[in-house]
Amino acid sequence: MIFPTPCPPPSAWTIKEPTFNPERIWELGGDLIKTARKRRVIRADDFFIKAFCLLPGPASRIRDPARKEWIISERLAERGLTPRPAAYGIYGRWSYFAARAASGKELGRYLEQDLADLSRKEIREFEKIFSRFLLDIAEAGVFQPDFHLDNVFYQEETRRLLLLDLHRARLYDRPLTHLEIMEQLIYVMPPFVDMLSGRNLIETASFLSKRVPALKKRDKRYEIQELSFSNMRSHWMKKEKRKVFKEHLVSRANGLLKLRTSSTDRSVLDQLGNLINKPETWSRQAGSSLKILKDSRHTLCIRALIEQRPFFIKAYRSSGHLKSFSYLFRTPRAIKTWQLSYRLSYRNIPVVLPLAAVQAKNPWNKLYGAVIFPWIKEAEDTKKLIRMALEREPDNHILKELALFVWQMHEKGVVHGDCKITNFIYGPRSHKKFMIFDLDSTQILKRAKDKMRISDIACLCRSLEKLAPDSDITKSFLNHYARFHLPWHHKWMDIAEKVRQLNLKKALAKE
């Protein structure tokens, strides 16, 4: 049964929409849209019905999410900010809230599909509509901490936005204060970080600042931004623990731990297992279909053709008894690369996702682990394209784009550790111009410290200066980075000098 209880009797319902007939809806059933431990969302006819499991005893009267959503929806529906509530009912330990299905598009889908086709004037108009929407919600006294793009619908015909899923919202008997509106923006900002440019976010803030003057100050906007990223990092840490292994197929056979995605052919996984178990035999059989890209003490990088499709394989060598012994107690490099890749993707950081990974039980194997990736053609041209861009653009626009990418990576708690330009894939025509590659030294932290940021920047600038030796890459890059990272705004010249000294020290150490 989709519904957790039989249909509540008529006396248990408060019905506001005459067309809502509980008995008929229970008889027809419906489609289960979402299920959680104590909540279900069901689509039936033209209505969405949410069922909440209540706490036992008198506590159910204090905390009833369905009744709470019913009250808040009534307030917002009067202003046309949410679909009309249809009914509220309670039966046993379950309470029900029903509302008409919202027309229009989910805001996330609208931005993803239609934003690129909008003119500059239309984008500004949308920013005004959205800022008015936020101020109208504040005027109604509603604070929504569960603000994400699936909870907002956009009606293009009427140019209206509707707020959904209000069981976590808070309702006040007065309009929100300026401080509360700014706190609301902490929850509003995260969904848009990867969808809109910084210019769009600043313009939206300028429209809101007519009502909230404090938003005119850059340090206040930066404070909101930092709190938003802090909340996002905490959310990702919890989400990653649940999802990194759940969505992938794990098997153990012949002393190997094997991971693959549901779309990866088993033949690809078998080839990877053969490489680990019998590397010399596998190399002879592959013959001319493979090309050695890197052969060092620690790693072996190969471009291989499997069933006439190109792949990139990175295999890890046993490089000493001490390191091999350590992998009995810590996560081996192949598994770590797999986990980090998907953790970065959850944080909306463009990364090349592995198709399969194999890890030998014995870390003293000649090759004790390997990861296979799809071959991305842009990887071959990255150095050439970056060099051409640095030579062609006197204002170094590419450095600004790269600085923004690295800054966002740091704000999301990711420190690359080996941040050379050759570990990035650059596609100037793609929507996501940069992708991260080679995660052997990458760390995910609660917060990236300044020392780690400087280390990443120094490594990147050192590799860029090899491509354009006549340019002052470090100064230009730090200038752009400090515009995004406000604490460095007044001391970026000092940090640039630190980066130069660090690079000089590295160069002397190599001689």
User: Residue 128 sits in a domain of what CATH number?
Assistant: 1.10.510.10
The percent of residues in the chain predicted with pLDDT above 90, rounded, is 43
- What's the domain range around 254? 249-374
Instruction: Please provide the distance, in angstroms rounded to a whole number, between the alpha carbons at the two ends of the chain.
Output: 73
| Domain match, 57 and 153 both | no
| Domain match, 258 and 234 both | no
| Domain match, 138 and 191 both | yes
Interatomic CA distance for residues 355 and 353, integer angstroms: 7
Interatomic CA distance for residues 77 and 436, integer angstroms: 45
| Domain match, 118 and 232 both | yes
- Locate tokens 């840490």: which residue? 237
Interatomic CA distance for residues 162 and 153, integer angstroms: 5
Least confident of 23-32, 105-114, 277-286, 400-409: 277-286
5 domain residue, yes or no: no
- From 242, 264, 299, the end of a domain falls on 242
3 domain residue, yes or no: no
Contact 401, 409 (CB under 8 A): no
1 domain residue, yes or no: no
Q: What tokens were used for 330? A: 């810590």
**pLDDT tens figures, 337-395:** 998 999 999 898 999 999 999 888 777 778 888 999 998 888 888 888 888 888 876 55
| Domain match, 398 and 459 both | yes
2 domain residue, yes or no: no
pTM of the model: 0.86
| Domain match, 118 and 167 both | yes
Q: What tokens were used for 295? A: 């052969």
| Domain match, 117 and 238 both | yes
Instruction: Let me know how long the chain is.
Output: 511
Q: What tokens were used for 359? A: 């890890």
| Domain match, 170 and 259 both | no
3-state secondary structure of 36: strand
- From 215, 242, 269, the end of a domain falls on 242
Q: Which residue, among 402, 427, 426, 419, has the nearest Cα to 459 in the 3D structure?
A: 419
Query: What is the number of domains present in the chain?
Result: 4
Give the CATH number of the domain where residue 354 resides.
Answer: 3.30.200
**pLDDT tens figures, 390-410:** 887 655 788 999 999 999 999
What is the dihedral sign for C-alpha 434, 438, 444, 447?
negative
481 domain residue, yes or no: yes
| Domain match, 148 and 20 both | no
Q: What tokens were used for 365? A: 């194997």
- Locate tokens 């003057």: which residue? 213
Packing angle between helix 178-188 and helix 218-243, nearest 10 degrees?
40
Interatomic CA distance for residues 57 and 273, integer angstroms: 57
| Domain match, 109 and 234 both | yes
Contact 62, 18 (CB under 8 A): no
3-state secondary structure of 357: strand
What is the pLDDT of the chain when averaged over all its residues?
Answer: 87
Burial class, 5, CB count within 10 angstroms (exposed 0-12 / middle 13-18 / buried 19+): middle
| Domain match, 175 and 300 both | no
- From 196, 224, 242, the end of a domain falls on 242
Q: What tokens were used for 433? A: 């111009």
User: What mean pLDDT is predicted for residues 52-62?
Assistant: 79
User: What mean pLDDT is predicted for residues 432-452?
Assistant: 90
Contact 317, 367 (CB under 8 A): yes
**What number of other Cβ atoms are within 10 A of residue 217's Cβ?**
11
Give the CATH number of the domain where residue 71 resides.
Answer: 3.30.200.20
Interatomic CA distance for residues 221 and 267, integer angstroms: 51
212 domain residue, yes or no: yes
pLDDT of residue 49: 92
4 domain residue, yes or no: no
417 domain residue, yes or no: yes
| Domain match, 383 and 363 both | no
